[in-house]
Amino acid sequence: MFPERLRALRRGQNITLKALADALNQHLTSNEKANTPSQIGNWERGIRTPSYIEARKLAEYFDVSLDYLTGKSDQNDYDLGKLFLSGKELSFNHTVLTSQDRYEIFQLIDGYLHGRQKRRDTERFYATQEELDLDL
C-alpha cells in the first residue's frame, strides 16, 4: 500500500523524483544521509522500505498522516480551515493564492457553512407549518 500511495501523492502533484529528493534533503542533520531519486523510486516500486524518519518526512512533505501513507487508514482528513491558515503555499487551477485570497476564501466557506445552518432551520420551520385550505 505504501508504494502506491507514495507514487500517487508524488504524481498527483506533478513532482519529479529529483524534486522530491531535493525537498526531503532541505533539513538534513549532520548524521543523516541525503535522499536520492533512485532511492525514492525504489520505495515506490516496493524494492526498499524507508525508515520511520524518512516515512515521517514524506508524510510531513505531502501533509498526510503516517496512517494514510502506510495504508492503515483509507481516508486522509483535511481541515480546510487549518490548511487556509497554515503557512503552506496553496494554489487553485495553477494559480498561487495570496494570503489575502486565502483569507477571503476562508471567509466565503465559513459564511456558506453558517448560512447553510440557517437555511436548514428555515426549511424545518416552514415544513412544520400547516397549510391553509382557502377553498371554503
Using one digit for the tens of pLDDT, what is the confidence trace for 105-123? 888 988 888 887 777 777 6
What is the rounded average pLDDT of the residues 34-45?
A: 94
DSSP code, position 21: H
How far from each other are the two terminal CA atoms of the chain, in whole angstroms? Answer: 70
What pLDDT does 15 receive? 92
CA distance 21 to 12: 16
Q: What is the pLDDT of residue 18?
A: 96
- In the structure, what pLDDT confidence band is assigned to residue 27 with cuts at 50, 70 and 90? confident
pLDDT score of 86: 72
Helix (H) or strand (E) holding 92, with range, is strand 91-92
Return d(Cα 98, Cα 68) in angstroms, integer. 29
Q: What is the pTM of this model?
A: 0.55
3/94 Cα distance (integer angstroms): 27
Domains defined along the chain, listed by start: 2-77 (1.10.260.40), 82-127 (no CATH)
User: What percent of the chain is predicted at pLDDT more than 90?
Assistant: 31
